[in-house]
Amino acid sequence: MPSVLIADDAAFMRMMIKNILTEAGYDIVGEAENGQVAVAKYRELSPDLTTMDITMPEMDGLAALKEIRGADPSARVVMCSAMGQQSMVIESIQAGARDFIVKPFQPDRVLEAVTKALA
């Protein structure tokens, strides 16, 4: 099963994504509470997919995405955004994100984005 790294500063949001993906058979190999930790864990774990929250302390998801894609151009990242972050979503897609999901998460949409990103 594909391995997934979940990056979100809210433990509750990480748990939600983890539950959705674990039930669908994905292997959650790591969690990160900010962009810096996400970049470090990506390097350490080389997950098949990373879900990346846009708004995080220390280093935001967009900066983390750019750093991860800079180190590994084939990295598959799905961005997670709140409503009204349209410009950030567009910028992240331009920076190489495969897809994005909007909070509050709909399980079928999360699975659709992840499946598409891994295809």
Query: 106 lies in which domain range?
Result: 3-118
What is the value of pTM for the model shown? 0.95
Q: How many domains does the chain have?
A: 1
Chain position carrying tokens 């295809």: 119
**Once rounded to an integer, what is the mean pLDDT over residues 27-53?**
98
- Mean pLDDT (the chain) is 95
- What pLDDT is stored for residue 82 in this prediction? 83
Neighbours of 101 (CB within 10 A): 21
- What pLDDT is stored for residue 80 in this prediction? 95
Q: Where are the beta strands (DSSP E) in 10-115?
A: 27-32, 49-53, 77-81, 99-102
Is the pLDDT at 77 greater than 90? The verdict is yes
CATH number, domain containing residue 61:
3.40.50.2300
Q: Could you tell me what percent of the chain has a pLDDT over 70?
A: 100
